[in-house]
Structure 1
Amino acid sequence: MSKLTGKTALVTGGSRGIGRGIAERLAREGALVAVHGRDTAAAEQVVKTIERAGGRAFTVTAELGVPGDAEALWAAFDAGLAGYDGGSGLDVLVNNAGIAQYGRIHEVPEDGFDRVFAVNAKAPFFVVQHGLGRLRDGGRIVNVSSGVTRVAFPAAVAYAMTKGALNTLTLTLAQELGPRGITVNAVLPGIVDTDINPWLADPQERARAAGYSVLGRVAEAGDIADVVAFLASDDARWITGQNLDATGGSNLGV
């Protein structure tokens, strides 16, 4: 029996990139996975991939970062779950959805600042708030943060601020939800080869990015998904309130 058999998981931003890797990994562990995305077709493609591999999944379509986003997401989740097997409730919530906002402090426009906070910080807050009644005791919340929260990264200051907020939310929720046996942790990836980083197609840029890690390569989505799967499992039952570095040892030296 796989480690998440009988569990239900929701992965926000599960239709592409790191989120897709997480959704597919949790499904391989036996979870019924709700694959969220704002693009229904992309989410459906992930579901088909999971099903071809023998897993179980359904789509949840909702745009984050807009008024009423959390309510819309959970309404879609409830409908999808009821249509799948008539069950209810959730065991694993992965707050993965996020957008990039590059620029130094003098380069970030106000609307760009507001947008990145709306998607990366505000949306997870209210997704959790509206989801607590569905999350079963003994459940898991995993927030996908970023390694830029532990180093100075002026080229993406607004983005880094949103992920710092997510780390604080992680710590606070761990204390708040501990009495229910719910663990809350954050995973901090470094540079990952997904479509959010199209510049990695340039060989020189890729080599530069690989040089950040002591392991000498750029991460794949599966590298992060494996860490999330661990935190979602009972193996991580005694870990909570942690911001787990998953950068491949990036920027360890000076």
Structure 2
Amino acid sequence: MKKRNVKVRKFGLYFLLLVGALISLFPFYWSAIGATNESGSMFTKPPTLIPGNQLLENMSNLNEQIGIGRVMFNSLFISITYTIIALFVCSMASYAFAKFKFKGRDIIFTIFLLSMMVPYHATIIPLFKMMASWGWLNQYQAVILPNIAYPFAIFLMRQNMLAFPTALIEASRIDGASEWKIFYKVVLPSMKPALAATAIFLFMYQWNSFLWPLIALSSTDMYTFPVALSSLFGLSRIDYGQVMTGVTLATVPIIIFFLSLQRYFISGMLGSALKE
């Protein structure tokens, strides 16, 4: 009887997981189907759920509108560069907050976390004036450099750093290793899961960023995917075949990036719940 109850519970659990997975994946499937059909097929009743033969035409039309190659390059270059720089900065900051003892450390960290409560829109005007005074508008650095010290990334990395043995760091100092060597050779190699999880968050944050790139980038040849796709929605007719094609293409790099780091993701997130 007990074995039967266990089997029933497992079946119910797997069924719920399957339903949840289908619900989560349906938007991606819907956009992919829309990319292969004409614009009008998006609103048919019943809706079209099978692939069509308009993918090449939709991609050709989309390329004429936004320039897929240039937009993809802009988004990849900005997102990857931002992820690398921000990951480096956030890991150093988290190491300092976790392993260095200095006056006011906890207060500074608390204030830093409270900065996440400041509405992002409140920083747009000062940030725009800063970029304009430096002559950085409509350039890659205007999108890459702001917010490289991402508060959530620092918090996530710090929680993982707290679990790292302080005795190992002190032993390295006794052996004569410099702080940079300890950080780079001793601490970071054991932080791969946390680095991977943080990298996923940083990459998705920058890839999906819309408001600031829309303000900072003024020419079409500098547009990222979210900004370029928004230009498809005009006052006249909207070609949803092009829109769905663009959405599908914009989703592919995120999926690839996540799948390439997924084996580290769960352990990195679990590590953030640990303390020394």
Q: Note whether the superposition's TM-score is higher than 0.5.
A: no
Q: TM-score, normalised by structure 1?
A: 0.23
Q: Higher relative contact order at CA 8 Å, sep ≥6: structure 1 or structure 2?
A: 2
Q: TM-score, normalised by structure 2?
A: 0.22
The structure that is helix-richer by fraction is 2
